[in-house]
Structure 1
Amino acid sequence: MYQVDAFTSALFRGNPAAVLVLDDWLPEAIMQNIAAENNLAETAFVRPNGGGWDLRWFTPVHEAPFCGHATLATSHVLAHEMGIDGQLVFETQVGTLRVDRSNDGYRLDFPNFPPDILSEIPVPLRAIFGPGEVKAFRNFENMFVELADERAVVDFVPDLPAILKLDPLSLVITARGDEHDFVSRYFAPLAGIPEDPVTGSIHATLVPYWAQKLGKTNLSAFQRSSRGGHLLCELKGDRVLLSGSAVTFMKAQIYLP
């Protein structure tokens, strides 16, 4: 098993993910137990499928349908640690994901999940943000709220019990950035992740949202968690391209029962 810090070029920054390269899937309960034992936002399991790879992601409490930073971490392990050349093609729950080496480390080719703008604000969201004007949108797995500015994102104190009431959705907050086009933070207590340090998957919706608002298709994003992470983003039709770096922290041997 490898542990990789994703969306960073320096250790102890970005988002850590564990990666296991398998010949075939382990029993699902074992994979979930490994993820729980790691207690990281995501543990990735990858196996060869002939011309490419099958990829699955597990949080400490359940299998996740989509994860960007663990896809980047997996790509780094395959390319940097195992010497696999060329484009990496992953089959996942959200379709085919492609990853290429780039000048910025790796370029991830993800689906574009356009924002569904909410005309009515759900009661649990009102309980978090109060009765004033709330700019909110969603996708298949998250609720998104645009705040006034970057300082509001940084100063936001999450009410995790209230966020749990968004079940089955998690919460993203975002705003126009001071030094970047936009910033964000992500809270997923239902997945055992009080706050995720850097989240690639949410940018599959944040990028089309901010591209439309700012009138540009190339954007710089920063996730304003305590660890922080920088993503270079491009909206390209029905795809979202994310570029970022990764560094290996650890290689370990697991002893299974």
Structure 2
Amino acid sequence: MPLFEGKVALVTGGATGIGRETALRYAAQGARVTVADINEDEGRNTIGMIEAAGGEAIFIRTDVTSPADVEAMVARTVERFGRLDAAFNNAGTPGGFTNVVDCTMAEWERTVALNLTSVWLCMKHEIPAMLASGGGAIVNTASEAANHPAPHMATYVATKSGVVGLTRSAALDFAGQNVRVNALLPGPTVTPMLLRGTQGLDRSLEAFGAGLPMGRVGQPREQADVVIFLTSEMSSFVTGMAVSVDGGLNLR
């Protein structure tokens, strides 16, 4: 039987990259899927891929920094599918490539809103929906940068470290109510965000990969597989963990 047969999954940042791959894998495992993103064209392309493979999904345009949008995203998911079992809070931004002195207030507030406040907003509405469905599991996207900071990424590192702490607190608060919460810490992975980042730092994908023990960058499917595991019954005794999927970067 598929891992998510009869269940409902929600993915933010589902238009591209790790989010898209995870949405596709949820559908392949029997879930009905909500894809949420601010990018309507690519979000609807993700829906088209799911439907072409025989799955069921809806797209909801969502600004994850907007309390009203996030509340509506969860409400529409439950209205359409009747429940919520799994959520992957993946939307985010690399922020500006600056140090703590050069970072502007506007850039700081934008990065905090997209990377950290949005995760809190999503869980604030997802968890009650899961409780009403009998329980569920959440994965929040942090980053291995939370453990291995890089130069000129102060805001990004701060927010992703915050996601890890928020994840652990939520996991503890709801562990006794059949809601599990874990964090994914991706290392360098081939996504539009990384491609933009390598341009900003004047580094190639090969240069990123060469710095990892495995000698290469990751693929979105390698991250998605771990999200599927962490939100399925295969990990039913796992909560509050920050799981590195980084080609061995955590060993350095």
Which has a greater percent of strand? 1
Which has a greater percent of helix? 2
Same fold, TM-score > 0.5, yes or no? no
Which structure carries more relative contact order (alpha carbon 8 Å, separation 6+)? Answer: 1
